[in-house]
Amino acid sequence: TKAKIIADQLKSLPYIKHIEPVETNILIFNINDDIGEAHFINLLDQEGIKIVSMGNKKLRIVTHLNFTDSMLNELLEKLKNLKI
């Protein structure tokens, strides 16, 4: 699934602390303790990426049926190049 592809990308990024097992189109992960949650969400928002906080630096990404391969590639590139 696309959520699993995103999870694989997140595993390689230094600002990710933990990723929960992906079973559906929902991806739940934690950012490192030294990163402000609001700051992280805002950085993604500036890149056109909308994610939801679940509190305590636990974040959620949900892919949609209409989330295309080109959208996935753009997301992966933006996550890789995000300046924290």
Long-range pairs, 16-25, Cβ under 8 A, ≥24: 17/57, 25/1, 25/62, 25/63, 25/64
As a whole number, mean pLDDT of residues 50-65 equals: 92
pLDDT tens string 19-57 = 999 999 999 999 999 999 999 999 999 999 999 999 888
Q: Say whether pLDDT at 78 is over 90.
A: yes
For 68-79, b where at least 16 C-beta lie within 10 A, e where not — what string?
Answer: eeeebeebbeeb
Closest CA to 68 of 79, 60, 58, 76: 76
Whole-model pTM? 0.89
Under 8 Å between Cβ of 61 and 24 = no
